[in-house]
Amino acid sequence: MYIKRYTMPRDRIFRSNSTSEEIMGFSVGIITLLLTISIVAIVYGRYAVDCLAAWYNKEPPPKYRVHVGAMVFAILFFVLGSVLQAEFDKYSECRHSGYSLGECIMMHR
């Protein structure tokens, strides 16, 4: 039994009157959260390794402001993740329309 999938015409996918949507999207999702949490974990992990190395070498612990750095990186990676999430959503919607990944990439460039 063959079931035909409904696919949208190629010229109707992701056409909008807004030029800001085509330049850069902004969406909060799983990619945003994963990037933000991972960069904060990397910053605190590096600080922990530096503290462990200082303890092992019998030196004073590092004096840099790890909390400020973690907050700055978290904000930067939240914005980066939000832009990447919008692109991921766009390609995901195209893939669910029945096109291959290559077709979706070529359609939006």
38-70 residue pLDDT tens: 999 999 999 999 999 999 999 999 988 999 999
Contacts of residue 61, defined as CB under 8 A and 6 or more positions apart, other chains included, come to 50, 51, 54, 55
User: Residue 21: inside a domain, yes or no?
Assistant: no
User: Residue 19: inside a domain, yes or no?
Assistant: no
- Enter the DSSP assignment of 29: S
Decide: pTM greater than 0.75: no
Q: Please, what is the end-to-end C-alpha distance for the chain in angstroms?
A: 36
The tokens 């999430």 sit on which residue?
A: 85
User: Residue 36: inside a domain, yes or no?
Assistant: yes
71-92 residue pLDDT tens: 999 999 999 999 888 888 888 8
Q: Distance (Å, rounded) from C-alpha 83 to C-alpha 98?
A: 24
Specify the range with the lowest mean pLDDT, choosing from 1-10, 25-34, 63-72, 91-100.
1-10
Contacts of residue 38, defined as CB under 8 A and 6 or more positions apart, other chains included, come to 77
User: Residue 78: inside a domain, yes or no?
Assistant: yes
Provide the number of structural domains found in the chain. 1
